[in-house]
């Protein structure tokens, strides 16, 4: 379990992020078109897994906008924004913000994702949602960077993510 905080109050996740140097576990999540999508849909691409509680919050929205801006021009990289949001709501957000470089994926039909990646919040007011975390995968799906953001209301370390992506 990872101990994180929500507005300064300690809460737990169901486990820990997969380790740097290991293979990212396979997953199936629901895309904007309601079809199942997994890592195999992005062969040969570097990947940023931006895992967030909900795009309907300020910090989650800011991180999606920032990753779209910072990484969007890198054709060899895909940004997978993963939350428990319904695909319709996440797509509306991305369309409204003109986030054309973000692929939205939802765990709403696949709660096992949060268990496998250790990011399901297990207690407190956000129980059942995913914690804020970022993983960078190289083109072979090896994890080159993993960050469990310690406070839900805190943005990830963008500079570290971008540095890891550059070296992936």
User: Taking a C-beta distance cutoff of 8 angstroms, is the pair 14, 107 a contact?
Assistant: no
Q: Tell me the C-alpha distance between 59 and 37, whole Å.
A: 25
User: Taking a C-beta distance cutoff of 8 angstroms, is the pair 24, 134 a contact?
Assistant: no
Q: Tell me the C-alpha distance between 21 and 37, whole Å.
A: 23
| Annotation says 60 is catalytic | yes
Q: Tell me the C-alpha distance between 68 and 94, whole Å.
A: 10
Which of the following is catalytic: 32, 37, 49, 60?
A: 60
Kindly list the catalytic residues: 60
């Amino acid at each position: 379990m990872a101990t994180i905080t929500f507005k300064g109050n300690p809460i737990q996740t169901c486990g820990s992020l997969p380790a740097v140097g290991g293979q990212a576990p396979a997953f199936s999540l629901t895309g904007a078109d309601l079809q199942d999508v997994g890592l195999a849909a992005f062969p040969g691409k570097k990947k940023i897994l931006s895992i967030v509680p909900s795009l309907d919050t300020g910090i989650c929205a800011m991180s999606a906008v920032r990753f779209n801006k910072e990484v969007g021009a890198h054709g060899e990289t895909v940004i997978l924004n993963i939350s428990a949001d319904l695909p319709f709501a996440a797509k509306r957000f991305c369309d409204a913000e003109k986030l054309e470089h973000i692929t939205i994926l939802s765990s709403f039909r696949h709660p096992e994702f949060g268990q496998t990646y250790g990011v399901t919040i297990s207690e407190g007011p956000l129980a059942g949602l995913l914690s804020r975390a970022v993983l960078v995968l190289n083109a072979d799906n090896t994890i080159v960077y993993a960050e469990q953001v310690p406070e839900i209301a805190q943005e990830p370390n963008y500079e570290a993510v971008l540095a890891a992506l550059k070296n992936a």
